[in-house]
Structure 1
Amino acid sequence: MNENVNRILVIRAGQLGDTVCASSIIEPLRHRYGDSVTIDWVAKAGIGRVFSRDPRIHKVFELGSRRAPLLFNKGKREVVVESWRNPYDLIVNLELASIFNVMVRLTKAKIKIGMPYRLFEEPPETHAVENLHLIYESFLDQNSMSLAEPKLIGTPAEEVRERYALANHYIALVPSNSHHHLPPEKNYRNWPIEHWKQLLARLSQQDRQVVIVGGKSELGFFEYLKPYPPNVLDLVGKTDFADLIGVLAAADAVVSTDTGPAHIAGAVNTPVFMLIGPTNPKRTAPYKTPHNVVQILCANLPCSPCYHTERFKQCPKNQCMYDILPEQVVEAIALGGD
């Protein structure tokens, strides 16, 4: 491959967890082509703000719609027009769906990796990051591949501590997930409300601050958890992505269900304790590296995982989440994880 690569476009316009996993391409690209390489990113609208304080990313193109064809998609047209003004040296398309094929074909670049020129199959039992490695290995050397781990850069710790009155030591809780719009009894990825309340009560009695985080769209969900016990700091709806990265990076530990901020915690090397039931941790848990702690807390029921199956649709109650007890979480945090 031609090594004269100065401008790169990465395409991964998924949800927050997908984008965090795809951040594993950034350091390998910088190792292969130099720290001064310009990297632009095509992201889902709103999600691209996860790179707002990241000096490694030059520009983010945000797509209001992934599926709308190029003719009716302003974001996709902006990518093409930008490339005709200033062509890319390399495009790395990390999307496997054909909905980006026309955009990739029309975008000017010397080298194009991925769809529509080559389809990389995803083994179903393999972690999302390891599936991305299949694409990386098609053009990156082994030294670059050794850096292929999710990594994010957000607001520095000292800034978020001052802005939000964070203590020197605290535990961050992420009770919600992308199904927050469903009532608690229908949100099968959710840990029971009473379990969260018990955990909050237990942790608030310790000599550490407890910080609760979540998005503005999730405010209704958190009403079920109130009133909060003493020593709890409520940051729900108060942080942008850059500050959320900083808050999770400065925490002693993060407790979360299967949701995007859990992946952020893993990417900033904060110990993360993930409560998981219907989904498959082999694929969706934060990516385990030599630099982080990822402990999966699950009930290991024979019917799990069941997400995206008929068994999931017919499940009368997410017993797999109910059977994870608050005292197990407290004990796991005390032991520091695996």
Structure 2
Amino acid sequence: MKHPLPARPEHIGVLRLSALGDVCNLVPTVRALQRQWPEARITWIIGKGEHSLLAGLSGVEFVVYDKASGIAGMRALWRELADTRFDVLLHMQQALRASVLSLGLKADVRVGYDKARAKDAQHWFTHRQLAPHPRAHVVDSFLDFARLLGVEEASPQWDLAIPEAAFEEAAGLTGDAPYMLMSPCANPRLRNFRNWSAEGYAAVVEHGWVQHGLTTVLTGGGSTPEREMGSRIQSLSQPGAVIDAIGASSLKGLLALIARARVVVAPDSGPVHMANALDTPVVGLFATTNPERAGPYRWRDFVVNRYPDAVTTYLHKDPETLSWGQRVRHPDAMSLIRADDVIRNLEALLAAASTRKETEPSDEA
């Protein structure tokens, strides 16, 4: 017998700890739940860094779990929520650590992914599973949780919170001149291989500078590889064309930088999805992951997509028969992207964004 779902949930738990791009992609699900049940209480259990990005999201209570704290941190979180019982817990993290964390949470019914989409045996930790949705984008996979609960209107909306102090931080880094934001490095996880070349980025910097008068603002964390990449791009670029802000901003400051940018250029990483959430035009660079599944949702038409080529070149398989979401873990995959590809899509995106801006209704009335 299936566990019944609440017809009108009063307290909804959301369990999604990471990563930065994924929590951005989850926000439309929260917004859909809020539209359906505006009086419902929503508690989101989230990672520490991810919380610093989304803090202030309207109508959401956050409970923060520092992933570095391990079992001790889990026990502390269980104690914090000992008197809390959710009508429904949306288990939206396909990882064993999150499933173990879920065991200490009280919920009438736990919802997780269907068996085809579940990883790390997540379906063993849930009462109800999503209906199958083959070849779904990550945003749509998250929205499937709202649909299962009975949400009638699930069009993606974001509305992220950016405080005024973050915009002041961004302006202090960039000044008032128009700019292109470039986040050249993805998360340095084992065998990630999502980074493009400094030479390729420098060619795009040159094009933006010469053809559009755009300074390029480089962003990223403060790790040594990221700083080295930034220095290399700057050394290959004309004087004044680059502002190296790598390691110089907070996550809220990064959101503000993205919100103020004319356009963003980045590989499959958090800033691609932050730009999408803020509706800032973005050229995503994809070869090791499938942009149809994980590209910037509203700007997928402008992705430089060399994933099919990488699949055939390095996996020797047909992209159409490959399991959905499989990655190409080869260090040379991103070399399939050419500077001309990126510049071509950048031009198309800038033209499309300009046309869209001209046709948007004026705020003046």
Q: Deviations over 1:211-244 (max 9, x none)?
A: 2211122323323223353143222111111111
- Mark the CA change 1:201 to 1:88 in structure 2 (over 3 Å): closer, same or farther: same
Q: Report the CA distance between 1:39 and its aligned residue.
A: 2.9
Q: Number of aligned pairs?
A: 321
Matched residue, 2:185: 176
- Mark the CA change 1:326 to 1:280 in structure 2 (over 3 Å): closer, same or farther: closer
Q: Could you say which structure has the higher helix fraction?
A: 2
Matched residue, 1:207: 213
Q: Deviations over 1:186-231 (max 9, x none)?
A: x742222211112112222333332221112232332322335314
Counterpart of 2:45 in structure 1: which amino acid? Answer: V
- Mark the CA change 1:215 to 1:294 in structure 2 (over 3 Å): closer, same or farther: farther
Matched residue, 2:29: 25
- Mark the CA change 1:136 to 1:106 in structure 2 (over 3 Å): closer, same or farther: same
- Mark the CA change 1:46 to 1:118 in structure 2 (over 3 Å): closer, same or farther: same
- Is 1:127 equivalent to 2:132 in the alignment? no
Work out which of the residue numbers 14, 21, 44 in structure 2 matches 1:10.
14
- Mark the CA change 1:262 to 1:202 in structure 2 (over 3 Å): closer, same or farther: same
Q: Report the CA distance between 1:251 and its aligned residue.
A: 1.4
- Is 1:163 equivalent to 2:148 in the alignment? no
**What is the alpha-carbon distance in structure 1 between the residues aligned to residue 163 and residue 17 of structure 2?**
23
Work out which of the residue numbers 219, 227, 232 in structure 1 matches 2:227.
219
**Superposed counterparts of 1:118-157, under 5 Å:** 118-120=128-130, 125-143=135-153, 145-146=154-155, 148-156=156-164
**What is the alpha-carbon distance in structure 2 between the residues aligned to residue 231 and residue 14 of structure 1?**
34
Work out which of the residue numbers 283, 294, 298 in structure 2 matches 1:273.
283
**Secondary structure of residue in 2 paired with 1:203:** helix
Q: Is the 8 A contact 2:78 2:104 kept in 1?
A: yes
Q: Is the 8 A contact 2:88 2:110 kept in 1?
A: yes
TM-score, with length taken from structure 2: 0.75
Matched residue, 2:352: 336
Q: Report the CA distance between 1:11 and its aligned residue.
A: 0.5
Q: Which runs of 5 or more residues in structure 1 are unaligned?
A: none
- Is 1:244 equivalent to 2:254 in the alignment? yes
**What is the alpha-carbon distance in structure 1 between the residues aligned to residue 130 and residue 312 of structure 2?**
24
**What is the alpha-carbon distance in structure 2 between the residues aligned to residue 269 and residue 298 of structure 1?**
20
**What is the alpha-carbon distance in structure 2 between the residues aligned to residue 240 and residue 60 of structure 1?**
20
Q: Report the CA distance between 1:129 and its aligned residue.
A: 1.4
Work out which of the residue numbers 329, 334, 337 in structure 2 matches 1:321.
337
**Secondary structure of residue in 2 paired with 1:153:** coil
- Is 1:62 equivalent to 2:62 in the alignment? no
- Is 1:93 equivalent to 2:91 in the alignment? yes
Q: Report the CA distance between 1:272 and its aligned residue.
A: 0.9
Counterpart of 2:83 in structure 1: which amino acid? Answer: R
Q: Is the 8 A contact 2:286 2:334 kept in 1?
A: no
Q: Is the 8 A contact 1:45 1:63 kept in 2?
A: yes
**What is the alpha-carbon distance in structure 2 between the residues aligned to residue 300 and residue 21 of structure 1?**
21
Work out which of the residue numbers 106, 109, 116 in structure 2 matches 1:108.
106
**Secondary structure of residue in 2 paired with 1:138:** helix
Work out which of the residue numbers 73, 76, 82 in structure 2 matches 1:84.
82
**Secondary structure of residue in 2 paired with 1:24:** helix
Q: Is the 8 A contact 1:216 1:236 kept in 2?
A: yes
Q: Deviations over 1:268-306 (max 9, x none)?
A: 111111122222111110112xxx675112357644478
Counterpart of 1:192 in structure 2: which amino acid? Answer: S
Q: Report the CA distance between 1:257 and its aligned residue.
A: 1.2
Q: Deviations over 1:149-172 (max 9, x none)?
A: 455322347534543343253221
